[in-house]
Structure 1
Amino acid sequence: MGGVGKTTMMKKLRQTVVEKKMFSYFVMAVVGENPDINAIQESIASYLGIQLKDQAKQVRVDELRQGFEAKLKGGESKFLVILDDVWKLHQHSSASSPPMLIDV
């Protein structure tokens, strides 16, 4: 459904959210037709102010989760996460680990 203004709408939403201080953190990442999981994770990490130190998929997932948890413990409890340009839905099926962009 290209060309209907979804990205423009997302940018306006971001501007409104930031101006009105509706969330402690606004996190945005572009997924794309051929997602690069590492790039998406890096984008999210940069919004959180953390640096992912490992290349192993599960370690990166844990580092992101810990980044979110650290912000929550610091009293910053509202996050808005927007994934732009998502082409297909991926259902995460593992009950043992939370989905944190393990795979798209």
Structure 2
Amino acid sequence: MRFEFTAPLWEWSSQANWYFVTVPEAASEDIREIPRPPRGFGSVRVRVTVGGSTWSTSVFPDSTVGCYVLPVKKAVRTAEGLVAGGDVPVSLTVLNL
């Protein structure tokens, strides 16, 4: 299952230098409904493309917003010129369906 969306990059206030993009509510609901084996912290394995960067990671449920959040590592932020508050175009594919 593949999702495409644009959302702002934000820094986690509890842990400096950790940056995330929030997966939109509709996509988060669809991801939540996909049957799969349970993983730690409710994570879901994904492959992500932002600009010319593609990597594998996991999205994690965020109970404060009710959506999944996608961590964006420093190498990607640097390569793609991403800054906190800026919009990030994301292509996200759920792995291991």
TM-score interval, smaller chain: under 0.3
Structure 1-normalised TM-score?
0.26
Q: TM-score, normalised by structure 2?
A: 0.27
Quick check: which one's strand share is greater? 2
